[in-house]
Structure 1
């Protein structure tokens, strides 16, 4: 299960804390500088448009009027869109910069969309167009060039919704992780003979029982759980436990609230009772899911204004409740199954479908590879023929050059050509003189003597 870096997860904190951080500070105070850098680093929301969100906030915060509104805004002002109406009053340079940021974001998403579509077409996959278009929800689709009040309202509402749904998505992801583990366990056992399978099943059951034999876990946010942190983590006398002091000790960034990460840090001692990375039976992925459940439990019971942050006032009020001193027993993940057998069967059917799809793709790739290899062989044969032709042509040119140096010239097919020779006069005279020395033939028709 992937764990996104979700820091202070409420938009109000993003706005207000950005404005607070921009107050001039003493640069010689190294400790304060380090705190500021740590706070800025921890502000990543984990949203795919986090950079755009952050840049918009930073630009808006440079406007004095909007900055003032940020410092006095509350959660409802932001969630109901009232704050976005103040956009009309910001300076021209701020609007210009916001317009530029929006055009950049639109361009980035268009490139992302095109890349996904090209990838889908290349692999012959069906695309979920609704899912792709959903990535533009934080922008006004009817205006792609200028940043208006509607854009700020959509940005806020989309971020709020996405952050609220984040935990639910993580739970679902963890559930699929657990089903995959069980599926792989069953497949592994199927490959064993009966004797080995029975032995392995017994071993796995023993590991599961060993994991369940852990110390009692205190309910998160209860006095027993906080006192344990006070004593073992803070090193203080449990008899002197003071909720207000405890809050200030664990508000590590001193912003007056306990955010989700500060809350999750409080549960480490409880989690160590159940999970040990050295033990084969303990799954660290399950430990992180347990941590998430503990944090959600505290947020549900302590966070009165539902901003996913615990203020000092909310924390102190929670210590006055009956559940603080007498909470219900905390049930860990191993107390009840996370999925039904029917859900597991559907998950396995989905895995089989994906496996078949991968096999089809692999076969298609294999056929394409064979075709490419055949084409490669044909090209190699053509290459050899071309090289042979070049070699023969070079040989003919060499023979022609040699013929020009006293050798008979070659014909069009490489055969030799002989030209008639012209003889000099003296060369013709000698045969003529030789002919004059021959005896003359007897004259014809002479009279015969009696």
Structure 2
């Protein structure tokens, strides 16, 4: 998945921004009065999917190195973040780090300028402005409170919408897949079409015939992991021990990647990359659905992390004893037939526009070729005229030369 782990040391605050980024905590020696703004290595975390991902992670890593700001991170809450209180603490960050933040901003401005220059012809004004929403481009030289506030607000908004964008892209993928299948059927003979339809239905049934999938986050699902992955007796299942065993980075939270790792056994029941009937794109959508389900049930403070306290509280709810089977994607339609018709109409309109533009370009090409032919003809004619004039001039010179003799 695109976003993997959350900032371990920023867990109490920046995780509230839904910045699901993997970052190793960096130790700060409190005895130093003047922290060294050393060179920042390239972040080793997975990409958040945001176009300003690297800038975001580097800013957070430098802020995390400042003792004062680091302390504020531990004590801030989501309201502090959304109201801009955390951003104001930038005024107290050590000069060395502020200088590095200035450099980062200038680098980001240069990157955006190059990006905009490359895309300018194909972008409207609003799209151009959107590229700069995460910083104050009116001040391209220094990193100020407004820059941090904009970065926080942009990342919060963009990552909130990340999952929905993924769902929308998946729906388009499924509709395109069905559209291409229908187009192939149109080109087949009646006999081949019937064979293809029969094979299609057989693959659907084969995919749907899988073992029971437990509800993600339920007792049965976790016990299955406890038994099959951990090799322990399900009768000895202990939620607290389970949590500590699967908190792979030991930060006291289940982040999104750690949660998704718990679903591997359930997904293997439904999807196998070796099977023709199993689509691995659908498997990733299923994984996302499972993670969203657990987050909605367990993540009570909505910081996109599951703390030990939240996890233990969830194991005491009725939902934890859920016995019904998890409804997989094949049991839920990806789209309605009306949505499919609208999508195919959109494709038809796009194809019409492309054909129209293609015809216009062909017409322009023919006109240019015609003009080129006219120019070539004029060039030949002019050459002939010049050649005749030159011959006439030569004959005249010869004539006058003979007279003078």
Q: TM-score range by the shorter chain?
A: 0.7 to 0.9
**Corresponding residue of 2:92:** 89
In structure 2, the residue matched to 1:444 is none
Stretch deviating more after TM superposition (361-370 or 291-300) = 361-370
Asked if 1:279 corresponds to 2:271, the answer is no
Per-residue Cα deviation, 1:204-251 (whole angstroms, up to 9, x for no partner): 112111211111100011111111112222222222222222212211
Match of 1:212 in 2: 208
Tell me the distance in 1 between the aligned counterparts of 2:45 and 2:306: 17
- Map residues 13-92 of structure 1 onto 2, 5 A cutoff: 13=15, 20-23=25-28, 40-92=43-95
1:193–1:50 distance in 2 versus 1, CA, 3 Å: same
Distance 1:153 1:328, change over 3 A: farther
Q: Which residue of 2 aligns with 1:401?
A: none
Q: 2:224 aligns with which of 215, 222, 228?
A: 228
Contact 1:183 / 1:348 at 8 angstroms: preserved in 2?
Answer: yes
What CA distance in whole angstroms lies between the structure 2 residues aligned with 1:158 and 1:102?
15
Structure 2: distance between partners of 1:371 and 1:146: 53
3-state SS of the aligned residue for 2:211?
coil
Larger RCO (CA within 8 A; separation ≥ 6): 2
Q: CA deviation at 1:76?
A: 3.9
Q: Structure 2: any 5+ residue segments left out of the alignment?
A: 30-40, 385-390
Shift of the 224–366 alpha-carbon distance from structure 1 to 2, 3 Å rule, reads: same
1:134-164 alpha-carbon deviations (Å, 9 max, x no partner): 2222223654444322221221121111111
Change (3 A) 1:246 1:375: farther
- Output the CA distance in 2 between the equivalents of 1:18 and 1:282: 34
1:250 to 234, 239, 246: 246
Q: Deviations over 1:234-278 (max 9, x none)?
A: 222222222222212211122221111111111111111111112
User: Structure 1 residues 226-235 or 108-117, which shifts more?
Assistant: 108-117
1:308 aligns with 2:304: yes
Deviation at 1:377, TM superposition (A): 6.9
CA contact (8 A) 1:102 1:146 kept: yes
Distance (whole Å) between structure 2 residues aligned to residue 164 and residue 188 of structure 1: 38
How many residues in Structure 1 have an aligned counterpart in Structure 2? 385
CA spacing shift, 1:65–1:210, aligned 2, 3 Å: same
Alignment correspondent of 1:200: 196
The two structures, once aligned, show a CA RMSD in angstroms of: 3.5
Match for residue 403 of structure 1? none
If you compute each CA radius of gyration, which structure gives the higher value, 1 or 2?
1
Flag structure 1 segments of 5+ consecutive residues without an equivalent: 25-36, 121-126, 389-395, 397-409, 422-450
Structure 1 CA distance for aligned equivalents of residues 363 and 2 of structure 2: 40
For residue 270 of structure 2, give the secondary structure of its aligned residue in structure 1: coil
In structure 1, C-alpha distance between the alignment counterparts of 2:403 and 2:172, rounded to whole Å: 94
Cα distance in 2 between the residues matched to 1:380 and 1:356: 36
Note closer, same or farther for the CA distance 1:387–1:198 as it changes in structure 2 (3 Å cut): same
Contact 1:44 1:50 in 2 (8 A): yes
Shift of 1:363: 2.8
How far, CA to CA, are the matches of 1:112 and 1:343 in structure 2?
Answer: 35
Partner Cα separation in structure 1 for residue 383 and residue 268 of structure 2: 73
Q: Report the CA distance shift for 1:371/1:252 in structure 2 as closer, same or farther (over 3 A).
A: farther
The answer on 1:350 being equivalent to 2:355 is no
Structure 1 range deviating more: 7-16 or 344-353: 7-16
Instruction: Describe the superposition over 1:148-207 as per-residue Cα deviations: whole angstroms up to 9, x where unpaired.
Output: 222212211211111111001100110111111111121121222333222322221121
Question: What secondary structure, in the 3-state scheme, does the structure 2 residue paired with 1:235 have?
Answer: coil
Rounded Cα–Cα distance in structure 1 between residues aligned with 2:130 and 2:61:
25
**Secondary structure of 1:41's match?**
coil
Measure the CA separation in 2 of the matches of 1:56 and 1:412. 85
Aligned equivalents of 1:414, 1:315: Cα separation in 2:
110
Structure 2: distance between partners of 1:15 and 1:346: 35
TM value normalised by structure 1? 0.74
Q: Is the CA contact 2:214–2:324 (under 8 Å) kept in the aligned structure 1?
A: no
